[in-house]
């Protein structure tokens, strides 16, 4: 069962305006109803209408021209949905990345101090499996997550490990072919190796530095989509 997504007022208004564009088959340059007319049609405040318009402007779907009115900038229904879907996916992945930076960054530091030899050996085994699968062109998302779970375990902080497990489904969205692109974060692999070097050498500063390079690369890749 999937969780129900909360939708903000400006998103609901944007959806209604998109529906109006589609139902009336409006094209680029066509004029939309005024703010006052939209307020009356949708039964919401002017400020809410303006928020919805700003939201659509951010996706280049409409253009508000002062003193002239509101005009369609891109009336293609499929393009509209694609733009918004991609942008929402990007924002969601960036939020996940921020959460990972906070949680896993601390786990990496602690693991570099506390990891036992056998725990480091397990990380090495899992990372070698990830590399082998990637080199062969196979999906390594499950093994990748197992590698990162091993870091949480090696932190020897059961609460940190428990929190990571509770959000594992969310984290796995970064491993499970986001945007439908295979091996989208391939560039992070060298930093996985150098991060593990830092853990192996019990150097928390180096390990954290290399982990942050992983997150920086992920965020850069997401923003480029």
d(CA 207, CA 191): 9
User: What local confidence, expressed as pLDDT, does residue 78 receive?
Assistant: 44
Beta bridge partners of 62: 72
Long-range pairs of 142-146 with CB within 8 A, sequence gap ≥ 24: 142/175, 144/175, 145/171, 145/172, 145/175
- Which residues of the chain, if any, have pLDDT below 50? 1-4, 78
Nearest to 151 by CA among 209, 184, 192: 192
Give the gyration radius of the chain's Cα atoms. 23
User: What local confidence, expressed as pLDDT, does residue 138 receive?
Assistant: 86
User: What local confidence, expressed as pLDDT, does residue 119 receive?
Assistant: 98
């Amino acid at each position: 069962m999937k969780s129900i997504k909360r939708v903000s007022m400006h998103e609901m208004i944007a959806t209604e305006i998109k529906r109006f564009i589609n139902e009336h088959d409006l094209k680029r340059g066509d004029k939309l109803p005024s703010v006052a007319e939209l307020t009356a049609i949708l039964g919401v405040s002017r400020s809410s209408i303006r928020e919805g318009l700003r939201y659509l402007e951010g996706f280049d779907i409409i253009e508000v021209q002062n003193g002239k009115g509101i005009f369609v900038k891109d009336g293609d229904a499929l393009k509209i949905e694609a733009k918004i879907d991609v942008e929402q996916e990007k924002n969601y992945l960036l939020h996940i990345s921020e959460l990972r930076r906070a949680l896993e960054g601390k786990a990496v530091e602690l693991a570099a101090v506390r990891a036992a030899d056998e725990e480091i050996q397990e990380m090495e085994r899992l990372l070698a499996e990830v590399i082998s699968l990637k080199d062969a062109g196979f999906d390594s998302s499950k093994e990748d997550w197992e590698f990162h779970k091993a870091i949480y375990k090696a932190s020897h902080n059961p609460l940190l490990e428990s929190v990571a497990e509770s959000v594992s489904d969310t984290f796995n969205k970064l491993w499970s072919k986001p945007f439908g692109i295979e091996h989208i974060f391939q560039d992070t692999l060298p930093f996985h190796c150098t991060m593990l070097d830092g853990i192996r050498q019990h150097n928390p500063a180096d390990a954290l530095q290399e982990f942050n390079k992983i997150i920086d690369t992920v965020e850069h890749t997401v923003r480029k989509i």
